[in-house]
Each structure stands twice: as structure tokens, then as C-alpha cells.
Structure 1
Amino acid sequence: MPKWLKIILKIVAGVVLLFMLLSVGLFIYINTNKTKVLSLITSTLNKNLDGNLSIGDMETTFFKGFPGISVSLKNVIIKDKRWAEHKHTLLSAKDFDVSINTAALLRGTIRISNIEISNAAIELYKDSTGYSNTSVFKKKKDQPKKTTEDDGGGSSAEFGRFTLNNVSFAVNNQANNKLFAFDINKLAGKMAYPDSGWRAALDLKVMARSMAFNTDKGSFIKDKEISGQMLAGYNEESNKIYVSSKGLKIGYDVFQVNALFDTGRKETEFAIHLNVNKIMWRSASLLLADNIRKTLDKFNMSKPIDLKASISGSLGGGDPFLYVEGKIKDNTLTIPGSKIDSCTFDAVFTNHVDKTKGYDDANSAIHLYKFSGRYNHLPFIIDTGSIVNFEKPVATGNFRSSFALANMNYLLADIAKFSKGSADMNLRYKADVVNYTINKPFIAGVINFKNADAVYLPRNLAFKNTSLSLNFIKGNLILNNIRVQSGHSVVMMNGRVNNFLNFYYDEPEKILLTWNIKSPELRLAEFMGFLGNRKNVQTKTVRRGGSNSGNIIDQLGNVLDKGNAEMHMDVAKVYYKKFLATDVRANLLTTSDGIIIKDVGLKHANGTLRLNGKLLQGANLNRFNLNTTVSNVDIRQFFYSFDNFGLSAITYENLKGYLSAKANITGGVTDNGTLVPRSIHGTTLVSLRNSALLNFDPLIKVGKFAFPFRDLKNIEIPKLDAKFDLEGDKIIINPMQFSSSVLNADISGVYGLNHGTNIAFDVPLRNPKKDEDITDKDELQKRRYRGIVLHLAAKEDETGKVKIGFNKDRKKKD
């Protein structure tokens, strides 16, 4: 071995030996004078505390911290001076182990190479007045400030490694209603001291018991384990602490974490940023405070989502600022009462919408962007949507959708069934959110239906090739370019409902739809469903205090049933069974009770009709009340069109000529439009001109013995005015003069449609042909009763047959 190497080795060995001797000496000194050293340490530390520090025992170990000295403190307790009042101990540690670097100590520097705290409790407490037990670290007011010389020089203590095992740590701020509490199973770190401050690499396993920024609203990440590795650092110039982790496990999910704490402020301010991919909705909600979690748990997602969250505020007081971003793709969103499939959207939550207000529920909002999904088989897109003010939530947004109308069958259920057609919707909406569901939306925009085939189920009305455009403008509903076809009937309509949305939910009976209707051809039989009672529609939700619902779809059945329509009609042709009318003009008002008919005018049977009245729907019978004016119609066509008005003895085949009449009648009609027998009551004034009675069997029978040489098969009636009272199955014939080409007669009595016929005939036997050249009315009247006058009666006998004979009752009257 070279001589120089031997010399170097001897020097190193000597230095090591000297260092070991010094360490052994220090170790022996401390152990020999343990009581004195412990008292010195306690008294020295208490000089710098505004409270009390006590150490139960102290032990030193040589090899545990070699080449340094390890000191194990037992039952270390730190209390502030007002501990007796509040009973919150700042530090209570059963085991407090410190390893001091001997070499650094010889250089005048206290370097703690390792510190380990086990089985301890740390509580930073602040009462409601703002007093904190951390004031124990403030110097006593009567303690004089030491000079640099008194301090003896040297640098501040530095830490190397540190470990916390089984330590509970809490920040209990009752002044600001905050509580942060953690059970530290293990926290190990290694410190470094660059010129700017310090850095630490941490390995932790902690149970978060409470992270309540406001204890009234609950805790974030309550009872969740936090584990993983973190980096932390402190900058002395900026007084800021930073914390970061690329893989911090919170519960069962792994987060990226970046945090900043500004300790240079009067109250430490913080900003925490979290990023997690593929987290389940319920797992995310469990990390939030109770007031937020209870709301979020009303919803759910079937697949994991990606989230970014920012939490910032002050540890001193006030609720924190929250900002959460979420990305959802091809997911199923469960909402109260339903589901939205195939969801894709971006979402943002913030509790600071208005920058001039605080961080609370009233200032909170959820914003949705590029929301696409399917609700009950209906695809839709919400370009932008928001739910603001969580105390009184209001939802707003832009809604677009295009779909086949058959998809609406799942939603409309027992209201309508579509078999063909398409729909386009472009709407802006604003609605209250009640019990987490959209309630009474106020909408603006347009809905278009094209080429629709549908059945309106409550009235069993079928429509085909139907189109319509619904425009919602300032609460009003405007209907344009509507084409409705039912069977052969084609109707083109435009309409308007003022104040529609206000009445829609609360007072549907006040809705008045004003229609302007044109049609080339209308067949009333295809709309007989309106005569029947509407089938009950089962709504999903019934509003308390009434039958109306805040759900726009559920309420549709109520609106269709209770709403009113005012129709102004212009129809080229109207068909009903055998009836044909042309150039029809009508004003109709439909209500929940029936139909009011106003100013109906039409052409029929080469004449005109005018009509006013109403049709009231009933459970078993539909009642009508009509005022009709008939002008110069062909009586044969008129009777044919109305099935002889229920008469059997006289029909359209027995009539010829022109009829004018005024009628005020009431009656009943069935759901299929058939007149109810014996239901008609009222009065009819009839005027016949240039008419004839053809092959009327009752008169032919009379004529066989009374007028054997006269043509009773074609009785010409130049003029006849009569009044009839209709009383169910009886027609009261008011006294009238019948003048014809064959005979004259004075007629009055009762004609029974079923029974009760009793008609008196005063028939002069004089042939009217003898007087056909006389034009003087008075002279004609005198000649009318010359000669023999037969007083006959057509009366029903006991068997129900009508027999004609002499009117014996007339003699009794005389």
C-alpha cells in the first residue's frame, strides 16, 4: 500500500473515531442528565409559547438515528392559555421521535434528520369570537425581544424526513362554520431546502372525515380514503405553498391534483384543481357536500364521465367558489320520472354566476352545451341550456328536434297515434323546475308537422296527409299553413290563440282558438266523433287543487278537451249523408260542452239556408237548439236530403215545388249523427209555392168515394202557408187553408208519428177547377164554401189504425 494512502486512511479513521466519541459523549451526557435536559427543553420551549407545553418522558437511542442522536418524547401536550375554557388541545402525542444530525449540530445548525409522530391528535381550533388555540405560538407580551447576540446566531431548524402514523388532524373553525378533519394512517415525506424555501415529496394514506367549508351544507369527500404520492413546496418570497399529484386516489377513483395556498394573506387563501377521467356519476356525487349531493342523486349516468373541478376560497371564512366541467358521451341520463338515452354534451356547474354576489345556491347554475339525446324515442338537440338559481330553479335553453311522428306515440300514449309523417321543432324555452322536473315551460319558436297520418284517440277521429305549423310568439300561439284531411274532407286553416301559454297550464277552459278555415269539400260524417263524449285521458301527473298538470305533454289532453275554438268557415261543398250544401259560410264556436252555431249561410236544393243555434253534448244524448230560415228550396231535394225529417206517411216522393220556412226547434241527435225519434220540439212556419202533392195515399183513399172523377195523384198547390208545432212524436197542425187543383180543405189537428193522430178536414165538394179563372180574392173565398162541405176526421182507433170518417166531434162543438 502506498505511504500516502496509509496516511489518508489514518486521518479519515481518526475523524470518524472523533465523531463517534463526540456522539457517544453527547449520548452519555443526555442519558446521564435526562431530567435536567428534559426540564431545560421544556422550559426553553415554553418561553416561546403563550401557553403550556408538557413532555411526559424522554429517551435517547444511539443506533436508531446514527450517526445522529435520536430523542423520543413521550406524552407531548401543547395547550394554549385559554384551554380551560374551550377544552381543545392543540397537540397530544404519545410518541414524538426526533433524530438530530450531529454534524450539523457541531456546525451550529439544528438539522432534524427525521421526525416521527405517532398516536397523536392535532386540532387547530377557533371559537365563535375568532380566538384560536394557535395563539399558543405567539410570544408572551411581557417577554423582551431578543437581539441577534442573545439568539447566539445560527440558522433556523431544518427537517429531513418526517412521518406521521395514526394521527388525527382537525381544523375546527367555529367562527366561520368550517371543519376539516382527517385520520392520518400514514404520512411520510422527505424535505429539501433550496434557496427559495422548501420542497417535499409525500407518501400518504389518509381518511378524510370532514372537509366542510360550511358545516350547515355538509362535507366534501366525507369518509373517503385519500392515498398516493404528492409533491409540495413553499416559496418564501411569495408565501405560497403548492401541492401536486398525478395520481392521487380518492375513494376508488384516481385524480390529478394541483393546489395553491397563499399564506401571505391575513387568512390563507387556496385554489384546488382536480381532474378525473372515467368516474361514475354516483361516485362523483359522494365526493361533494350534502346540499349538492342530494340534488345530484336525483339523477344518474349509466357510464363513467370525465370531470374537471376547481375549488377556491379562504380558509378563514365564507363558502368556496366551485367550478366543475364535465364531458358526457353516448350515455344514458336518468332524470326524475324518465330517462334520456344516447346523451352527449358538455356541462359546467358554477356557484358564482353573478360576480357581484356570493357563492350560494341562489347564485348557482348548470350550463349545458351541444346536448344531444333521445327522450321517449324522440331525438333532440339543446344548443345551449341552463338551470339557474338552485333555490328557485329556472331552466332555459334552445331546443331542436327532427323525427318521424310515429316516435311520438310513446309520448302521447292515449291522446293520438301517428302512422306517418315527420316533425321539426326549433324552440326557446324557459321553465320552473319543481321537484327536479321541468314545470310549465314558456316557449317561443316553431313546430312543423308534415304529411301526417294520425288518429285522435279520445274521439276516434282519423286524419291523413296532414300538415301544420305552430308558432309561439310572446306567449301567443299562431297556426299557419295547416292542412287537415279526414277521409275525403280536406281543410286548410290558419289560426291564433292569444295568451296561450298562460292559459295552457292553469285555465285551459279560457283558451280560445280563432280559426279561419277553407275547404273545397267537407264531409261531416267524417267528423261525427266530435258529437260523442270525449274518452277519458289518463294524465301522468295531476296538479294539486285541480286536474291540470305542469307537464306540457300530460296537460295536452286537458287542453284539447277543455279548450274552445272559434271557427270562421268558407267551404265550397259540404256533404252529410244525402245532404249537399254549396258556398257554405259559417261561424262556429266549439266548447267543452258542445258547439255554438252562428250565422251559417249556405246554398242547397236551388235555394238558401241560414242557421243559428247550439249543440250540447250529453252523456247519452246530444241536444240541439236551432233557428233556421229556409228560402225557396226545392222541397223534393230538401226532404230527400234530411230523410223526410223522420216522417213516414209523407216523403220526398210525394212532394214537388218550392219551400220557404222558418223553424225554431230543439231535439236530440246520437253520436253518429242520427236524429233521436220523438225528440224534436218547436215551431215551424212553412210556405209552399208552385208545389204539388203526388201520389199521397191518404187523399187518394178519400178521393175514391168523395171525388171519384178528380186527379188525386197530382194535386197542384199554387200556394200554402202553414204553422206546425212539433212536440216529440206529434205534429200540431194549426188551422190552415189548403187550396189545390183538386180540392180545397181547412185542416187542423194532430198528426202522430207513432200514435195519437186526430186531424179534422173541412172539405168543400165544389171543384176548384170551376173557379180557376176568378182572380178576386174575396170572391174566391165566398165561392170556396158553396155547396156541400164535408166535415171529416182522420183519427186513430183502438187498434192504432188511422180511419177517415165524419167528424162527429165537430157537431158536439157546434
Structure 2
Amino acid sequence: MCMKRWLKISLSILSGLIILVIITWLAGAFYISRNKKEILSSILGQLNKNLNGKITATGMEPTLLKSFPGVSVSLNGILLRDSLWSQHKHDLIKAKDINVSLNVLSLIVGNVNINQIAINDASIYIYTDSNGYSNTSIFKSKKTDTTKKSDSKTPDLAVKKIDLNRVTLTLDNQKRHKLFNFNIDQVAGRMQYPDSGWTGKIKLKTQVNSFAFNTRKGSFLKDKSLEGTLSAHYSRDLDAIILDPEVLKIGGHPFKIGAKIELDKSAFAISIAVDDILFKDVAMLLSPNISSKLLKFGIEKPINIRGNIVDDGSGKYGDPLIKVGITVRDNVLSIPAGKLTAANFDGSFTNQDTAGGIIGDENSAIKFHRLTAKYFNAPLKIDTFTVTNLSRPIATGLVTSRFPLSNLNNSLGTQDFEFKQGTADLRLYCQADIDNFRFTKPVVSGKIKIADADILYIPRKLRLVKSALNINFDQNDLSIQNGHFQIGKSELNVSCSIANFANLYYTDPDKILVNLKMHSPQLYLSEFLPFLGPRTSKKKTSGGSSIKAASKELSNVLEVSKMNINLTVGKAIYDKFLAKNLIADISLRGEGIYFNKISVAHAGGTLALNGSVIQEPSSNIFKINSKINHVSVKDFFYSFDNFGQNTITNKNLKGFLSSNVNIAGRISHTGKILPRSINGKVVFNLNNAALVNFEPMVKVGKFAFANRNLSNVEIKNLDGTLNIRGDKVDISPMQINSSAMNFNVKGVYALGAGTNVECFSKSNTGGA
């Protein structure tokens, strides 16, 4: 019974309160309807109380149900202008309508307290001129009587709810060259006003048209959407607005954004964190002067990023300080010289690399820390790789790697080399300019060690086995030490030096001069015949343009560079030719091999020669100047395969030959002298010679000199001159004193038709 009574009393009280609220609301509504002008004047007066300017409205209409149980009015045709509007012509606020929610009880007693403001279909333009004056000075407090005290603990204008709908917001700072422009679809702020300042939750949905900290360098976040809820509070002590880190979607991707805005200094600091985002998407959020540099690099898979944007408000640097850190794991990184696969590193970007220096491209840096990756399938390790001064980029880094050479197969873009075995161990410190994000003018220091290598150089079909060498880079110079190569049965020990290699490699490869020293205990010259043939190449493999360019560059350098070879050989063998103590000075220039000076012991005597071999598609042109001293003529003819003819061979000859030879001809790509191709002059001396079983002479003897032995004609000494014209040999007049007869001879000897040799007998031995 008691329970029912209390329930009845409670319902009566609740009903009374509801009726009271309705009556109060109706009273407020009635009051507004009857006193629109007075209320509008009161609202504007409330708003204008502390403004250094003026807010005006063309009219007011009640919108009673919008904020029940409060009372709302709609202010139409709103203009908010500072006191200097006539000079700069920028309205701080221009709104089609502003909805204002009023406290009913305060309204009835004659005060206007605003609970909520909703600005709709409006533009807000915050303008700062080149002298630093801003139209926000309208909010600077007017001078008031400091003796007056207020009983209220809240400010004169303490709005608990602020909404923006379909509003264009512009912050135009002509002095600092900043322009921020947003199309705000919705901003909803819910505010509280403790003694320390205010706190609020701000829900926003907006489109960024411009977010330019420096209009001369372009906008950040260009044409990106922003959507999320931010927690903010204002501290009177710090005179700063702090945005707690919250998730904000930028272009649809979730970023955690925090900020601090110091109002008295016009300074700010923004913190940014985002995970699993593509590098190119991040780069496109930055201003063009930064993104254009970063987009020269590429990272295929999503990465994690942490960043800060700081402006101290001084205007000293123009641009804000930007620091960005990225975490990359098991990714593919594109760099100016190709691609790094399986890449892991921590990266950073700053536009103020030197503390206290300028903020801009000249003091910007991109850094890769603790980088591990594969480059052309070769594993690399770089403790720190740095690109500084983005206006004229310079790259530096210490590169270390150890890998099987076979990893390089099918990865160089061209198949000039095939690696079957061997290892490479490198440690190089590199510094290079980056021209249009391509490495140029490199400075390299360090070593590359290659061991137990089996390499096929395909363009020349040259195979090197059991190869080893130490390559030393001393800034621009290159040297090779402890080089060892085996080509077939030939072994070569090599040392090499190339001055100014690094610069010329990229700029003038045809000016590269390789000074090569080689020593071999035994050399089979036929194994070097590939140098006589034209270059061949396999079909190029697919690969990035940078890899192809680098491979093509290397191949070109190998072909156009010049080489001086100083060669010493214990024993040199070519087909039937055997020489000892070979000393040679040889130059390689373009398509030519030049024998500057060669000396060798052969066939019991010595040979010295100079000359050249010029490569052509079908065969090669050779020129030889040779001095032959006291060689066995039999062995000499045998060694040179009877000089491409079979009329008179090594089997027909005895004695010792000394000669000066100046001839030219053609030699095949397999090293054979082409028949009837030789032209030139031979001046010779035969000593203690014999012509044995020379069939043409034996046949003549049977008919003309039957009593003389022409099968073994001995000649103690013979001097002669031969002019060779392909298949014909012009025999200058010479006197032959032999065991069979003494005669003079001259004429033309032909390997084919056309022989016309005249012989004049001086005396006979034994009767005819």
C-alpha cells in the first residue's frame, strides 16, 4: 500500500516537471516570437561584446524544435568583418545561415546564453597580410574596466556545441606564404569549459584543397579527404591547443594524428603514425618539391611510418621542419641503379639534416639504416646509406657483401657473362653524385676479392677457370692484384692499373686506359683466338631499365676502353709454332690489336716483330714487320704452316734464315692465313742452306741436267728479295751459287698460272 503511494507521488512529480519544461519552452518560444528584433540585437550584442570588428545579420527566424528543450533561432545573411576589412576585403565569416541554440531560462530573465552554434553553407577566410596583420584580430579583447568583476566563471561566449556544415575554410598567410583551404562537409565540436581553458571532441569530414606551408613549393595532402574524431583541449597557461593522438582517415587510410598549436607564437607540432601503407601513397601526401624526389625511389609492399611536422612560428626557415621514419621489412626497393630485393631497413627523411641549418632541399637527407638486401641476386649489407642535398643529390654508403658468383646469372639484364662457380667478397665505400637520380661521378674506395671463379665471357666466347683476383678501388683509380686466370691449358698471372677509372667509366669510357701486366709459364695462343673474331651476344634477358642500362654500360666499357699489355711468357705454343722467352708489348684499341714490340726465341734463332690485326666481319687484316735472325728455315716453315702454300715446304728446306719481312694479309677468325691474301716484301739471307727433293727442280734436272744431283742442292750463302702479290711472287735478280750449278734468276713465280722465271747459268759442274 505504501509502495503504491510513493509510486503515485513520483509519477506526479515527474509529470509536473515535464509540464514545467513544456511551459518554460512554450514561454521561451512565445518570447522569441514576440521579441525577434530584441533577441537578434541581444545575440549580436553578445557576440560583438569583445570583437574588434562587427558581426551583422540580415534577419532571424525561430527554429523551435531543433534543440528542444532549448530554443533555437536561425540567423540569416551573417557577415563577420574585422575593423580593417575595407583595406583587405576578406570576410572572416560569410554564412547563409547560422543556427543558434539558446538557454530558455536565461532568455526569460533577460540574458542570452548560447548553447550551440551551427554554421551552414558558409565560408571562413582567415587572412594575414604581408605585414603580419590578421583579420582574426577581431577576437582580441577590447579594453575594459579592470575594476569590474564578473560573477561568472565561464567566458562571455562559452558555446558548448559548434557545428560546421558545408563550409569552405581558408587560412591565407601572405607574410609566410602559407595557404590552407578545406571544403568542410561536417565538423561537430562538443565543448566544455573548465577553469584551465576548454576541452572538446571534434568530429570532422572534410576535403583538402590546399595545405601549403610554402605556396612556392606546393601543397601537402592535395585533394585528400580527412575524416575522424579528434580530442582537443586549450590550456590558458600554455596558450596552446593540444590535439591528443587519434585516428584520422587521410585519403581513406587510417593515420594516428596528434598536434600542439601554440597560439601566441603561431607555432605548431604535428605527430603522424601510420602502418601498412604504400610508399607512393605517402609520397603523394607531401608537397611536390618533396614527393618528386621521393618518387624516384620505390617500395613495393606496405610500410610503417612515423613522422613529425614542426613550425616554431618564427618564420625564419619558411618551411616547417619535417622528420619522417619508415620501417621496411622483406620488401623490394627501387633505387637509381636498379632494384634491391628482400630489402630490410629503417629509413628516414628530414629537410634539416644539419641542426640549425636551413630548411629546404639543400639541407635535406634520405637515409637507409641497417640495410640488408639482394642486388642482382647478390646479398648486400649497408650500415648507413645516405642521400644528401636533394637540390644536387650526393649518395654515400659502405657496402659489404659475400656471395656465389652464380647468383649474378640472368640478373644483369644482358648475358655477357655466365658464372659457373666462384665467390665474391666486397667491401666498398661509395660516394656519387646523382644526376636526375642516376649515379654519376662516383668515388669508390675499398676491395673486391674474387676466388675460384669459372667465368664465360660470351661476346668473345672466352672461358676463364680457376680464376682469382683482388680488385682495389682508390677513389677514382682502380687496380688489380694477385690475379690468376686459366684459359684451357694456359695460365696467366695478372696485375693491372687504371687511372681515373671511376670518372671515365661514366663520362668517357673510350678514354679508359688499362695498363695490364701478365706473366705465364706456358701459353697456348690458340686459346686466345676469340679475340680475333667478332663479338657475339645472347638474347637479352628481361629486367628493369636501370639494370639493362648498367649492363649495357659495362659491356660498352669493356669494348671501347683501351688496353696496354706487357706480357712475358716462358713458352708460347700456337698450332705447330713453339717459342720461348716471349716478351710482348701489345695494345688493344677498339677493333684493333697492335703488336708494338714482340721478341721471342724460336727455331734456334730469334724473332722480333711489330704489327697489327684489325678485326672485320668476314676475316681480319694483319700487317707484320718482322726481323728474323738465324732461325732454322726448316722449323720456321713448319711452324707457320708453310705460309699458306704447298709448293715449297719445310720438307724441302735446310739451313738458317735471317730476314726482314714487311707483309700484310688476311687471317681467319680461327687463326688461319687466307691463301693468296699476302702482299709485301721479304729480304732474306740463307746460310748453309739446302733445297731437298724440291719436285719442280728434280723434274727439270732429269731432262736438262741429267748428270747433276738436283735432289739436294746445297747453297752456302744466298741473298734475295721477294715481292709478294697474292698468288704471285716477284723474284728480284739474284745470284745463286749452289752445289749443282751457279746461275742468276729473276721473274715471277705463281702459285697458280702465270709463272715466268728466267734462269741464266754461269757455269756448269760436271757436263750436260
> What is the one-letter code of the residue matched to 1:627?
N
Q: Which residue matches 1:555?
A: 553
CA distance in structure 1 between the aligned counterparts of 2:12 and 2:636, rounded to whole angstroms: 143
> What is the one-letter code of the residue matched to 2:369?
Y
**Residue 425 (structure 2) pairs with residue 424 (structure 1):** yes
> What is the one-letter code of the residue matched to 2:274?
V
Q: Are residues 167 and 509 of structure 1, via their aligned partners in 2, closer, same or farther at CA, if it must alter by over 3 Å?
A: closer
Per-residue CA deviation, residues 665-723 of structure 1 (Å, 9 max, x unaligned), is: 22222222222333323332322223322112233233334443443333333332333
Contact 1:366 1:387 in 2 (8 A): yes
CA distance in structure 2 between the aligned counterparts of 1:95 and 1:598, rounded to whole angstroms: 96
Displacement, 1:302? Answer: 3.1
Q: Which residue matches 1:572?
A: 570
Q: Which residue matches 2:377?
A: 377
CA distance in structure 2 between the aligned counterparts of 1:650 and 1:22, rounded to whole angstroms: 138
CA distance in structure 2 between the aligned counterparts of 1:499 and 1:10, rounded to whole angstroms: 103
Work out which structure has the larger RCO, using CA pairs closer than 8 Å and 6 or more positions apart in sequence: 2
> In the alignment, which of 113, 120, 123 is matched to residue 122 of structure 2?
120
- Structure 2 runs not aligned, ≥5 long: 542-546
Q: Are residues 135 and 193 of structure 1, via their aligned partners in 2, closer, same or farther at CA, if it must alter by over 3 Å?
A: closer
CA distance in structure 2 between the aligned counterparts of 1:153 and 1:192, rounded to whole angstroms: 18
Contact 2:417 2:457 in 1 (8 A): yes
Residue aligned with 2:706, SS: coil
Displacement, 1:69? Answer: 5.7
> In the alignment, which of 51, 55, 58 is matched to residue 57 of structure 2?
55
- Structure 1 runs not aligned, ≥5 long: 541-548, 769-787, 791-814
Q: Which residue matches 2:135?
A: 133
Displacement, 1:519? Answer: 0.8
CA distance in structure 2 between the aligned counterparts of 1:313 and 1:69, rounded to whole angstroms: 43
CA distance in structure 1 between the aligned counterparts of 2:186 and 2:304, rounded to whole angstroms: 30
Q: Which residue matches 1:723?
A: 721
Q: Are residues 719 and 20 of structure 1, via their aligned partners in 2, closer, same or farther at CA, if it must alter by over 3 Å?
A: closer
Displacement, 1:593? Answer: 3.7
CA distance in structure 1 between the aligned counterparts of 2:629 and 2:109, rounded to whole angstroms: 130
> What is the one-letter code of the residue matched to 1:55?
A
Q: Which residue matches 1:227?
A: 227
Q: Name the stretch that deviates more: 642-651 or 549-558.
A: 549-558
Contact 1:439 1:550 in 2 (8 A): no
CA distance in structure 2 between the aligned counterparts of 1:551 and 1:581, rounded to whole angstroms: 44
Please report the RMSD computed on the Cα atoms of aligned residues, expressed in angstroms: 3.7
CA distance in structure 1 between the aligned counterparts of 2:642 and 2:745, rounded to whole angstroms: 21
Q: Which residue matches 2:348?
A: 348
CA distance in structure 2 between the aligned counterparts of 1:420 and 1:369, rounded to whole angstroms: 32
CA distance in structure 2 between the aligned counterparts of 1:728 and 1:639, rounded to whole angstroms: 18
CA distance in structure 1 between the aligned counterparts of 2:342 and 2:517, rounded to whole angstroms: 42
Displacement, 1:420? Answer: 3.0
CA distance in structure 2 between the aligned counterparts of 1:736 and 1:289, rounded to whole angstroms: 92
**Residue 146 (structure 2) pairs with residue 148 (structure 1):** yes
Larger Rg: 1
Residue aligned with 1:222, SS: coil
**Match runs of 1:49-128 below 5 Å:** 49-58=51-60, 70-101=72-103, 112-128=114-130
Q: Name the stretch that deviates more: 113-122 or 252-261.
A: 113-122
Displacement, 1:242? Answer: 0.9
Q: Are residues 726 and 50 of structure 1, via their aligned partners in 2, closer, same or farther at CA, if it must alter by over 3 Å?
A: same
Q: Which residue matches 2:330?
A: 330
Per-residue CA deviation, residues 102-128 of structure 1 (Å, 9 max, x unaligned), is: 778999998644333333322112234
Displacement, 1:489? Answer: 1.6
Per-residue CA deviation, residues 426-473 of structure 1 (Å, 9 max, x unaligned), is: 222233334444345443322333333333222222332322322221
Q: Are residues 70 and 507 of structure 1, via their aligned partners in 2, closer, same or farther at CA, if it must alter by over 3 Å?
A: closer
Displacement, 1:20? Answer: 9.5
Displacement, 1:619? Answer: 4.2
> What is the one-letter code of the residue matched to 2:175?
A
Per-residue CA deviation, residues 771-813 of structure 1 (Å, 9 max, x unaligned), is: xxxxxxxxxxxxxxxxx8x9xxxxxxxxxxxxxxxxxxxxxxx
> What is the one-letter code of the residue matched to 1:125?
Y
Q: Which residue matches 2:286?
A: 288
CA distance in structure 1 between the aligned counterparts of 2:63 and 2:454, rounded to whole angstroms: 94
Q: Which residue matches 1:450?
A: 451
Identity fraction in percent: 39
Q: Name the stretch that deviates more: 591-600 or 270-279.
A: 591-600
Q: Are residues 477 and 62 of structure 1, via their aligned partners in 2, closer, same or farther at CA, if it must alter by over 3 Å?
A: closer
Q: Are residues 18 and 552 of structure 1, via their aligned partners in 2, closer, same or farther at CA, if it must alter by over 3 Å?
A: closer
Q: Which residue matches 1:269?
A: 267
Displacement, 1:475? Answer: 0.8
TM-score by length of 2: 0.88
Q: Are residues 42 and 163 of structure 1, via their aligned partners in 2, closer, same or farther at CA, if it must alter by over 3 Å?
A: closer
CA distance in structure 2 between the aligned counterparts of 1:200 and 1:745, rounded to whole angstroms: 128
Displacement, 1:653? Answer: 0.8
CA distance in structure 2 between the aligned counterparts of 1:507 and 1:520, rounded to whole angstroms: 36
Per-residue CA deviation, residues 205-262 of structure 1 (Å, 9 max, x unaligned), is: 3333321112333322233332222221122112122102332222222122221111
**Residue 689 (structure 2) pairs with residue 687 (structure 1):** no
CA distance in structure 1 between the aligned counterparts of 2:244 and 2:48, rounded to whole angstroms: 36
> In the alignment, which of 611, 615, 620 is matched to residue 613 of structure 1?
611
Displacement, 1:138? Answer: 4.6
CA distance in structure 2 between the aligned counterparts of 1:277 and 1:97, rounded to whole angstroms: 40
Q: Name the stretch that deviates more: 166-175 or 436-445.
A: 436-445
Displacement, 1:187? Answer: 2.6
Q: Which residue matches 2:657?
A: 659
Q: Which residue matches 1:512?
A: 513
Displacement, 1:494? Answer: 0.5
Displacement, 1:654? Answer: 1.2
Contact 1:539 1:555 in 2 (8 A): no
CA distance in structure 2 between the aligned counterparts of 1:253 and 1:159, rounded to whole angstroms: 32
> What is the one-letter code of the residue matched to 1:640?
Y
Q: Name the stretch that deviates more: 16-25 or 430-439.
A: 16-25
Contact 1:468 1:483 in 2 (8 A): yes
How many residues of Structure 1 are paired with residues of Structure 2 in the alignment?
756
Displacement, 1:367? Answer: 0.7
Q: Are residues 201 and 635 of structure 1, via their aligned partners in 2, closer, same or farther at CA, if it must alter by over 3 Å?
A: same
Contact 2:43 2:112 in 1 (8 A): no
Q: Are residues 708 and 94 of structure 1, via their aligned partners in 2, closer, same or farther at CA, if it must alter by over 3 Å?
A: closer
**Residue 585 (structure 2) pairs with residue 597 (structure 1):** no
**Match runs of 1:513-532 below 5 Å:** 513-532=514-533
Q: Which residue matches 1:301?
A: 299
Contact 1:534 1:561 in 2 (8 A): no
Residue aligned with 1:190, SS: strand
Q: Which residue matches 1:778?
A: none
CA distance in structure 1 between the aligned counterparts of 2:148 and 2:65, rounded to whole angstroms: 34
Contact 2:415 2:540 in 1 (8 A): no
CA distance in structure 1 between the aligned counterparts of 2:120 and 2:289, rounded to whole angstroms: 36
**Match runs of 1:391-410 below 5 Å:** 391-410=391-410
Q: Are residues 169 and 764 of structure 1, via their aligned partners in 2, closer, same or farther at CA, if it must alter by over 3 Å?
A: closer
CA distance in structure 2 between the aligned counterparts of 1:537 and 1:435, rounded to whole angstroms: 31
Per-residue CA deviation, residues 540-571 of structure 1 (Å, 9 max, x unaligned), is: 9xxxxxxxx99543212222221111111111
CA distance in structure 1 between the aligned counterparts of 2:756 and 2:131, rounded to whole angstroms: 108
Q: Are residues 624 and 107 of structure 1, via their aligned partners in 2, closer, same or farther at CA, if it must alter by over 3 Å?
A: same
> What is the one-letter code of the residue matched to 1:575?
I
> What is the one-letter code of the residue matched to 1:589?
S
Contact 1:349 1:367 in 2 (8 A): yes
Q: Which residue matches 2:218?
A: 218
CA distance in structure 1 between the aligned counterparts of 2:212 and 2:349, rounded to whole angstroms: 19
Q: Which residue matches 2:641?
A: 643
Q: Which residue matches 1:163?
A: 163
Q: Are residues 475 and 297 of structure 1, via their aligned partners in 2, closer, same or farther at CA, if it must alter by over 3 Å?
A: closer
CA distance in structure 1 between the aligned counterparts of 2:15 and 2:490, rounded to whole angstroms: 117
CA distance in structure 1 between the aligned counterparts of 2:19 and 2:168, rounded to whole angstroms: 43
Residue aligned with 1:176, SS: coil
Displacement, 1:171? Answer: 1.0
> What is the one-letter code of the residue matched to 1:422?
T
Per-residue CA deviation, residues 160-209 of structure 1 (Å, 9 max, x unaligned), is: 33333333322122333222122333333333334432222333333333
